[in-house]
Amino acid sequence: MSQEEQHPIFTRDPAELMKYVYKCVTIECAEKNTFSGWVYTIDPVTENMVLINFDDGESEPKLTVVTGHSIISREIINSNTDTYKVQLDSLFEDKDDQVKYTDEELKIRRTKCKNWLEQNRLPVVEDSDGTLSISDALQIVAPYGPENCHSMNEIILGRIQGLLKNMPNDM
């Protein structure tokens, strides 16, 4: 198979695309369309680019997906990655993860979680940093919900997450 017959994914360098992430760019596309905005991500296979525009007058930023096959040229117009990096990353975070708990609330949630697991006859150990461990196979970190479970064993992970989802509120 010659170089000309290979799919472009095998000849393009993804690191070359990474130089655009978190930077403000202007993209010229087919049919004389131009788009500009802050690059959140680029798909290395299709080269589709996700652009975000933060308009001061609007409460919500505007998202634009530019398809890779239509892109003729890309130009960086602002390379200060710190300008909107935090805002870009926060756009796609789960809003529940942004809830802040006091130390007292975390202690109550940890105790409730530990008691529920012990009630279901699981060997729970509380580490010095507050992490709950089950037989070194699974760890539960603050704020101790099903989405805070970490394990390399998918079966154990699924079962414990299911158990935590079914935990009664009055524990």
- Phi/psi of residue 45, each to 5°? -85, -50
Q: What are the tens digits of pLDDT across the range 155-169? A: 999 999 999 999 998
Q: Which residues contact 25 (CB under 8 A, 6 or more apart)?
A: 36, 37, 38, 39, 49, 51, 74, 75, 76, 77
Looking at residue 67, its amino acid is T
pLDDT of 171 reads: 74
Confidence of residue 57 (pLDDT cuts 50, 70, 90): low
Tens of pLDDT, residues 87-117: 888 887 766 555 788 999 999 999 999 999 9
- Residue 56 clears pLDDT 70, i.e. is over it: no
Phi and psi at residue 76, in whole multiples of 5°? -80, 125
- Amino acid identity of residue 128, one-letter, is S
Q: Using only C-alpha atoms, what is the Rg of the chain?
A: 23
Average pLDDT, the chain: 89
pLDDT digits (tens, 9 = 90+) for 25-53: 999 999 889 999 999 999 988 999 999 99
Backbone torsions φ then ψ of 152, nearest 5 degrees: -80, -15
Could you report how far apart the first and last alpha carbons of the chain are, in Å? 64
